[in-house]
Amino acid sequence: MEQIFASDTAIVTGGTRGIGWAVANQLVDRGARVLLVGRNPHQLEQRVQELNQKVPEHAFGFACDMAEQPDSSKQITEYALKMIGRPTLLLNGAGGASVTHALDAPWTLWVDDFEVKFFGYLAMTRAILPIMMEQRRGVIVNLVGIAGKDPNPALAIASAVNGALNGVMKVLADDASAYDVRIVNVNPGATQTDLLTAMAKAHATESKKNIGEVLDEMRAKSPLKRLPGPMDIARIVIFLMSSDSQFVTGTSIDVDGGIHRGV
């Protein structure tokens, strides 16, 4: 496999499963040194071992709660500088999407979800961006979500979080562009991950359907009539991180099988 990231160092939050894990694998396979960030120390250690079995001494792990900002981001950055060097790539991927309507969600859930994803992404970007700007090199990719463009009543908090991320990352991309640093959002739709299974269970409980019916309905909504896997999203992330997309910044890329009806 071509070592297009042989001179890169990457931080991947939410890196132990789903899309983040798929991206981390692709980065290591292509030569990058990667710092995985996750909440579960045991799972994190296992994932780091898996990556280092493929390419020795290319993966490291840092366990923390991304809701504890800005302290977590500062600690991650300090550890990254020590273990992998000055980061040139960042994937913000930690955080889920609670299945809830706006008036049903308790206030604490609104706060919790914003802390993990919105403030988690923002704090990591604020911590890493100055380093990238100083070296005039870097790419930040944010896993946001199509609900930021198509607000979903059943994903009220995620719709708000994702919409806010689209706005603030556009502003930050403008600030970074003069320093040859790019920031791009990726908007997956329903993707076959552990998170989707949890969301499908919640939808099933709310609608009094079984999980299979809920997943079938999700597939039916896609013009392609199927759901992507983590690697389908990871390939787009890898492209956006590469020099092949060096003129792409300050925008969001939908990877949802055509569900979004905007043009």
Residue 43 pLDDT > 80 = yes
Q: What is the pLDDT of residue 230?
A: 92
The total of structural domains in the chain comes to 1
Strand partners, 252: 185
Residue 45 pLDDT > 90 = yes
Residue 263 pLDDT > 70 = no
Containing structural domain, residue 117: 9-191+228-255
Residue 39 pLDDT > 70 = yes
Query: Rounded to two decimals, what is the model's pTM?
Result: 0.92
Q: For position 144, which CATH number holds? A: 3.40.50.720
Residue 136 is assigned to a structural domain of this protein? yes
Residue 91 is assigned to a structural domain of this protein? yes
Contact 244, 234 (CB under 8 A): no
Q: CA 164, CA 144: separation in Å to the nearest integer?
A: 10
154 or 262: whose pLDDT is higher?
154
Contact 218, 227 (CB under 8 A): yes
Q: CA 229, CA 221: separation in Å to the nearest integer?
A: 16
Residue 200 is assigned to a structural domain of this protein? no
Residue 213 is assigned to a structural domain of this protein? no
> Which amino acid, one-letter code, is at 260?
H
- By mean pLDDT, which of 164-168, 221-225, 229-233 is the weakest? 221-225
Residue 167 pLDDT > 80 = yes
Residue 184 is assigned to a structural domain of this protein? yes
